[in-house]
Structure 1
């Protein structure tokens, strides 16, 4: 679907496509020393922290990492909300992001919650 949509938009030849398990693909990209400036995490919540670590490893300084569903339908922020299946994972993940020394982050309470993180260039600090 991505190939079809990007080709229709005129960008099909500007994108490399990988299929398969996300963690295996990220591991291969890291092994090949690939670097990127944008990441979007919207996958199995149990592996969000693993995806984040790979994104940081693969990131150019100043890269943007966008993470979706970080509020778990409000159950992360609202103590009166009924916990969802991923509430505990997302609470832990949000704490990891907030305290990560390589990230400047902002959680946006829109929809199911988005976090935007900029990867800090620590070589010039």
Structure 2
């Protein structure tokens, strides 16, 4: 008897087969990350493709990613950049950043992607001080700090910028008002900020697939 998870995975693989072009660089990233013992928490291939399509529809020329991991989503997003486009990605773990830089180089995006190592709450102010603004911002780092990341994202966003935040459902735990999980509480606070922020229009979508049951927020900065 097939479980729900089996069904989700089978459907995801069907969509990958029908809709996603073979990308040897992205496949290599996953293999390299696994060999380097990087947690297998990248976005799924279909989710990576969604990020690419959203950035392409936006015609984003400047992208900010908070949470690099091994560079899988960085490369997905960079594929949507125009010739002179740039992506800045922030990663706290030096070893992960080293692997990401190698993956990015192997994929041919070293001129488009800048990996900044350090605590994002310390490096985000540097971007602000440099006067850098972004058309598309992807938040996929430590969830307890999501409220702070959102505040910085708004400051660093061009008018009309898209903000995407991953892993906001937490297997349904997002609705647990008594949760003691710091990640869940961080997302709940993030949602409250979205609710009260007049400059943002947003929605949240639940997802299932090879990564299980989760979801993402999609927002526009007005």
Alignment of structure 1 residues 47-62 onto 2, 5 Å: 47-62=145-160
Large movers: runs of 4+ above 6 Å: none
In the alignment of these two chains, the number of paired residues is 118
Contact 2:168 2:214 in 1 (8 A): yes
Alignment of structure 1 residues 1-125 onto 2, 5 Å: 1-77=99-175, 83=179, 85=181, 86-110=183-207, 111-120=213-222
Contact 2:150 2:190 in 1 (8 A): no
**Offset at 1:7?**
2.1
Larger RCO: 1 or 2 (CA < 8 Å, sep 6+): 1
Q: Deviations over 1:17-41 (max 9, x none)?
A: 2111111110110111111112111
**Unpaired stretches in structure 1, ≥5 consecutive residues:** 121-125
TM-score with structure 1 setting the length: 0.82
Q: Which has the higher helix share?
A: 2
Q: Deviations over 1:41-87 (max 9, x none)?
A: 122222111111111111111111111121222111367xx836133
Contact 1:72 1:84 in 2 (8 A): no
Pick the structure with greater CA Rg: 2
TM-score with structure 2 setting the length: 0.49
